[in-house]
Structure 1
Amino acid sequence: MINQHLLKTFCTLVDIGHFTRTAEQLFMTQSGVSQHIKKLELQLETPLLIRDGKSFSLTDAGEQLYQRGHELLRSSEELERLVKHDETHEGKIKIASPGSIGLRLYPFLLDQQRLYPNLLVDYVFAPNRDIERALADRKIDLGLLTDLSNVSSVSSKKIAIEPLVLVTSSNVTSVNWKKLLELGFISHPDAPHHGRLLLSENFEEFKHVEQFMHKGFSNQISLILEPVSRGFGFTVLPLHAAQAFRQQDLIKIHYLDNPVGENLYLCVNRIAITPNRIKFIKNAIASYLAD
């Protein structure tokens, strides 16, 4: 393999055409330049220069090496620039979050991409456990969790609290325990957890969501409120998910006497190097969700 340090000396010498000026340009001695050329000729086992006093010309091998060597050095310099390139508003960012927070956050991130067209956002909706695994495996740059991660390679920072709310159809103006039993429960993947958090703080009769008649289930965050809006039952959701439902006139968001929320944690891989674009988006997310 050709030594790039020697190759750079050779190409610079051919460009300048003079040993002394080449030495000055490369901060070397003239004898050092000569030694580099000799080492390169020994490595390639062929003469590269035809010396004539203080001047020289290239052999056929020297001419080929000069042409291809310049290309190689330019490619190497370009690769180095790309590796060192760390623009704040340029490059791809991979983010994942649970569905509710994603409904609020993803449009905000698209606004950032509109402001900075070279900033590319890949966004995945996923449950906490999948996000933790993706962070640990370094498949994503940032993750938002509603539980504090116990994974040693994941660093978590609390940035906000997402309120939980009870949602019914719009014709239900108020709720009590009896009314909830009459309505029945529309479930979703996080419903038992959300229901326990909110209802246990507001209804002393509550023990578990199985106390309510099961009236339906959906695992699509944007569709959970469809049966609710049609009067089939009630559910408990994060506020962002309830506010994202497209037909707000068909639902009623109930703010109970004892508010309950889920902590939101912004998470990264603990050992991953953080480029400037990740720092920028990380700070933007924290500021946006804290409002």
Structure 2
Amino acid sequence: MINPIWLDTFITLVETGNFTRTAEQRFMTQPGVSQHLKKLEETCQCELVVRLSKGIQLTEQGQRVYQYAKEQQEKEQDFIASLKFDAPFEGKCVVACSGAIAQRIYPALLALQKQYSALNIHVEVAPRRTILSGIANNTLELGIVTNQPESEDIHSEYLGEEALGLILPRGLHDAKDISTTATHKTEDANALKDIIKHLGLINHPDAMHYLQRYFNDCGEPELAKVNPNKLPHAGYINQLSQILLPVSEGLGYTVLPISTLDFVSFADKLTVYEAKNEVTEPLYSVQTPHSALPARYQAVKQAIIQVLG
């Protein structure tokens, strides 16, 4: 086994490119740095660096040893972090959710990490089925999904509601009698039917699910009769940040959480059709039912609840 102290010295030497600065950073003497390098080269049975007048140059073997040393360093850091599962404000927290939810909760999670710098927060954007599979298989610890899962392998807690909106181009000529502003209420569902058939759907991974829910729950019988599978499409994109761009250019319409309008710079080019009833989807946190979350997740969950609750 290669001495990890020698490897740490070697990493510093490579990254500073200088024996003197390495000695300063490692609180060693310069001969001590040279001694570590010599012992490492003897162990590896090859030359690792070429000494130059203004620093060093790695040999091919030196590049490989540096890569190996960095990998070992990262593994050690991950291992130490994994042991801190009971520290309330320290360690890695992974939260999996949709892109729309990520946009809403990420600023609050960043504020929490800024407050507790030892927290290491990761937000993974993933579809509902992937999140539920990860929880069931113990590869994820915390997720947020729409609609309560029916599985004994998943524990869920209600968080709040996500409002859905049918989003149209604001400048659309044929739509002026339906919705000229995001606050202009109308019940003219027949006119809307004509417009969406003319425009076409900007499709995305959740579009058909959102459309069906919207038509069923909006409280307008004419829209409830519409079959989303028979509507014409005007395009497809799976990047949340880009879905509303073609809508803003008058190329189509779509259905998304209304909160997405808060994160685009061209919201003034969009309008939300106001149906008779507000359409929402319930949001749930999900985790394994067989063990409690590490203590550090409690602060994360509270920050999420404050945003979504």
Aligned to 1:278: 297
Question: Alpha-carbon deviations, 1:78-135, whole Å to 9, x = none?
Answer: x99x957722211110110011111111222112111111111111000111001111
1:203: Cα distance to partner?
4.8
Are the equivalent residues in 1 in contact too, given 2:164–2:256 (CA < 8 A)? yes
Distance 1:249 1:272 in 2: 47
* Pair 91,250 (structure 1): closer, same or farther in 2 beyond 3 Å: same
1:204 aligns with 2:222: yes
Q: In terms of mean alpha carbon deviation, does 237-246 or 116-125 score higher?
A: 237-246
Aligned positions of 1:46-195 closer than 5 A: 83=83, 86-172=86-172, 173=176, 174=178, 176-195=192-211
Are the equivalent residues in 2 in contact too, given 1:156–1:267 (CA < 8 A)? yes
Runs of 5+ unmatched residues, structure 1: 1-78
Distance 2:194 2:306 in 1: 41
Distance 1:133 1:251 in 2: 35
Are the equivalent residues in 1 in contact too, given 2:113–2:121 (CA < 8 A)? yes
Indicate the SS of the match to 1:274. Answer: coil
1:243: Cα distance to partner?
2.7
Distance 2:130 2:142 in 1: 13
Are the equivalent residues in 2 in contact too, given 1:188–1:217 (CA < 8 A)? yes
Give the aligned residue type for 2:253.
F
Indicate the SS of the match to 1:227. Answer: helix
Distance 1:130 1:261 in 2: 22
Give the aligned residue type for 1:99.
G
Q: TM-score, normalised by structure 1?
A: 0.67
When Rg is computed on C-alpha atoms for both structures, the one with the higher figure is: 1
Indicate the SS of the match to 2:110. Answer: helix
Aligned to 1:23: none
* Pair 274,210 (structure 1): closer, same or farther in 2 beyond 3 Å: closer
Count of residues paired in the alignment: 211
Distance 1:83 1:97 in 2: 25
1:154: Cα distance to partner?
1.0
Aligned to 1:227: 246
Aligned to 1:242: 261
Distance 1:95 1:86 in 2: 17
Percent identity over paired residues: 31
Indicate the SS of the match to 1:129. Answer: helix
Give the aligned residue type for 1:279.
Q
Indicate the SS of the match to 2:242. Answer: coil
Distance 2:85 2:269 in 1: 50
Indicate the SS of the match to 2:222. Answer: coil
Question: Alpha-carbon deviations, 1:251-270, whole Å to 9, x = none?
Answer: 22233221111100011111
Are the equivalent residues in 2 in contact too, given 1:128–1:147 (CA < 8 A)? no
1:261 aligns with 2:280: yes
Are the equivalent residues in 1 in contact too, given 2:85–2:91 (CA < 8 A)? no
Q: TM-score, normalised by structure 2?
A: 0.63
1:235: Cα distance to partner?
0.6
Distance 1:119 1:113 in 2: 6
Distance 2:96 2:196 in 1: 34
Distance 2:196 2:151 in 1: 38
Give the aligned residue type for 1:98.
S
Question: Alpha-carbon deviations, 1:25-68, whole Å to 9, x = none?
Answer: xxxxxxxxxxxxxxxxxxxxxxxxxxxxxxxxxxxxxxxxxxxx
CA RMSD of aligned residues (A): 2.2
Distance 2:222 2:105 in 1: 34
